Amino acid sequence: MMRLTTMNTALKKCFTISAAFRGPWTLLKKELLRFWRVAFQTVASPVITALLYLLIFSHVLEGHVQVYPGVPYTAFLIPGLIMMSVLQNAFANSSSSLIQSKVMGNIVFVLLTPLTHLQFFLAFLLAAIIRGLVVGVFIYLGAMWFVDLEMVHPSLIFAFAFLGSALLGTFGIIAGIWADRFDQMAAFQNFIIMPLSFLSGVFYSIHSLPPIWQKVSQLNPFFYMIDGFRYGFFGKGDVCPLISLAIVGGSFLVLAWITLKMLKSGYKLRA
Amino acid sequence: MITPSSKPAIKINNVYKNFGSLQALNGVDLTIEQGEFFALLGPNGAGKSTLISILAGLLKPSAGDISVMGFDVVNQYQQARQLLGVVPQELVFDPFFNVREMLRFQAGYFGRGPENDIWVDEILEGLGLADKAHTNMRKLSGGMKRRALIAQALAHKPPVIVLDEPTAGVDVELRQMLWEFIKKLNRDGHTIILTTHYLEEAEALCNRVGMMKQGNIVALDSTANLLNKFAGKNLRLTLGDVTLPLSIQPLMRHHDRGEFTFALNDMAQIEFVLAALRTDNIKVIDMQLNEADLEDVFLSLVGKKL
């Protein structure tokens, strides 16, 4: 009888904890369903785009360019393309969800709830990370048709994919809160995310650039995410992966702090 | 889930709100007790929606405080929002989901799980949405979207419900259905706060009325008391484009496009008005005699129609 009561109490405790987490869990579930309902646009489309890049660049440049000794150009290209897509889609998930909700006015359904700013942040962040990783996994599976790619340091691959998508997911939340119109969001996408991702060493090693552009590339946080992620596959990179990891992790913490400040103050959400 | 507590459902204490140089709320004080059916009336720009937005946590007050059943909406916002269900005025919806999914999400944000499904079914039934439960929000008609919006505010079974213009642009059938459902909620102990442009609704449903003008509460009393204060008859005369004799101008309550409304304390004043018009050769095109209603009270206090 005593044991039954203890078990009952333990079960009740578990239930209480799960009820406390139900709010942010529901928001996360809604955000995941939101992108999954339009998976053609949010998953299939970036996967096909990345595989087309791979098809064209590997066809044109395979045999003409060798970045690392013993690594075919197609193999070199794949991690860069995966990471670029992971980052772009993590950004797109949180930013597009927020701007759509703001423009359509349905953000009010979340703002009226007792969710804290931290819970709001974590739900949008995790949804962005998951979308980024899902896109990345599908591109990896598709790329297997082109070349057999080994993973030298799987933990580094996961760490960079996770932290990179967290960084861009957070940046997407900032953009989504700040932007009031779709064209402002497009400016973020076209003038910040696209140039930084294309000029980050996805298609080349920065050692092939003139010294001045190597220095410029080192100011681009995308470069460290791509290079670190690629290091996980080949055990070779342009900079030490631990330095890259520290830069990516540090950047994430700074952006997360800014985002939490914005959410706590109600910036552009609660006047 | 209605929490027993002796605290007022809503307590608004000296609330100010500025938007730059615009003073939207000017020291509003208002207490709404639990179980009331309260109407907040006022013309556009009076500050009703601003007050509701502060109550709901969508805006921050410039000064003053508001509490919901004793919980401050800024410092104890989690507890306050658990107790509050707000139906926004704008017809907003999430196009990715169907009605039932939206209600489950909304209840989930408040920590409610599958045990809440019985209540969700009750709301769907009560608002005539049961056969649309699996229809995507995008595919609903305007009236149905409005019902779904109301259902969302009720999904976590809040003891205090705020309806900001819930019947704006909806048909008579929905209005009847909605009011029956809301009256039932009120009978079950829920506090209802309503803003509406339909004064006959406020008069029929609410036991207390607050009237706002330029960010201030200008009248606050029971509906019966307000009507008693302004008791009397309304004489509506269609006279066309004329200038009224000076002697009857003090009796005029309102005039709009040739129709003049006079507030009369006794029936003898009818002859007094008609005699003055005859003296000035003003012809009466049409005449109506009515009891004063909430609209007349509103006109007297606010000076314009709602």
DSSP string, B169-207: T--HHHHHHHHHHHHHHHHTT-EEEEE-S-HHHHHHH-S
Query: CA nearest B251: which of B235, B239, B267?
Result: B235
For B269-287, write each residue's pLDDT tens digit.
888 899 999 999 999 999 8
pLDDT band at A15 (very low <50, low <70, confident <90, very high): low
CA angle B168, B207, B12 (to 5 degrees): 80
Cβ neighbourhood burial of B43 (10 Å; 0-12, 13-18, 19+): middle
**Chain A: nearest CA to B272, how far in angstroms?**
55
Question: Shortest Cα distance from A37 to chain B (angstroms)?
Answer: 7
Shortest CB distance from A111 goes to which of B58, B95, B101? B58
How high is the ipTM of this complex? 0.87
Domain span at residue A213 reads 22-265
Q: What is the length of chain A?
A: 271
User: A1 lies in a domain?
Assistant: no
C-alpha to C-alpha distance for B1 and B82, rounded to whole angstroms:
10
A215 assigned to some structural domain: yes
Give SS3 for B235.
strand
Where does chain B hold its CATH 3.30.70 domain(s)? 232-302
The first and second tokens of residue B230, run together, are: 């302004």
Question: DSSP assignment of B242-253, as one string?
Answer: ----GGGGGGEE
| pLDDT reading at B113 higher than 80 | yes
Contact A23 B111 (CB under 8 A): yes
- The CATH classification number of B10-227 equals 3.40.50.300
Q: What is the CA radius of gyration of chain A?
A: 21
The pLDDT tens digits of the residues spanning A209-229 come to: 888 888 888 899 999 999 999
**A&B contacts, CB < 8 Å:** 84
pTM above 0.80, yes or no: yes
Mutation pick from B83, B96, B99, B145 vs chain A, by most beta carbons of A within 10 Å, is B96
B250 confidence band (pLDDT: 50, 70, 90)? confident
Q: Please identify, in words, the CATH class of the domain defined by B232-302.
A: alpha beta
Which of B:54-83 have CB within 8 Å of A? 56-60, 77-79, 81-82
For residue B81, give every residue at least 6 positions away whose Cβ sits within 8 Å of its Cβ, in sequence order, or none: A112, A113, A114, B56, B57, B68, B73, B110
A264–chain B nearest CA distance, Å: 12
A116 CA to chain B: closest CA distance, Å?
Answer: 8
Check if the beta carbon of residue B197 is closer than 8 Å to that of residue B166: no
Q: Which chain B residue's Cα is nearest to A269?
A: B58
Percent of chain A with pLDDT over 90: 70
Contacts of B101 in chain A (CB under 8 A): 33
Q: Do strands B191-195 and B208-213 pair parallel, antiparallel, or not at all (unpaired)?
A: unpaired
At B264, which helix (H) or strand (E)?
strand B259-264
Residues of chain B with CATH 3.40.50.300: 10-227
Is residue A150 assigned to a domain? Answer: yes
Phi, psi of B221 (to 5 degrees): -165, 175
Please indicate whether, in this complex, the C-beta atoms of B58 and A38 are within 8 angstroms of each other.
no
A115: nearest CB among B86, B104, B109? B109
Q: Specify the number of domains making up chain A.
A: 1
Contacts of B158 in chain A (CB under 8 A): none
C-alpha B190 chain-centroid distance: 16
Q: A25 vs B108: CB contact, 8 Å cut-off?
A: yes
Mean pLDDT confidence for B288-303? 74
Nearest to residue B181, comparing CAs of B237, B122, B98? B122
Residue A100 has pLDDT above 60, yes or no: yes
CA–CA dist B117, B103 (Å, integer): 9
- Average pLDDT along chain B: 89
**Residues from chain A contacting residue B97 (CB–CB below 8 Å):** 30, 33
What does the pLDDT average to over B250-269? Answer: 83
Tell me the pLDDT band of B153, cut-offs 50, 70 and 90.
very high
A interface test, pick of B3, B49, B75, B94 with most A CB neighbours within 10 Å: B94
Residues of A in Cβ contact (< 8 Å) with B93: 104, 106
pLDDT at A166: 98
Structure-block tokens of residue A38: 């339009």
Calpha distance A185→A208 (Å, rounded): 33
Lowest-confidence pick of A90-104, A159-173, A177-191, B253-267 = B253-267
Percent of chain A exceeding pLDDT 70 equals: 92
Contacts of A25 in chain B (CB under 8 A): 108
Q: Are residues A164 and A87 in contact, defined by beta-carbon separation less than 8 angstroms?
A: yes
Chain A residue whose CA is closest to B85: A112
Q: Considering the domain boundaries, does residue A11 fall inside one?
A: no
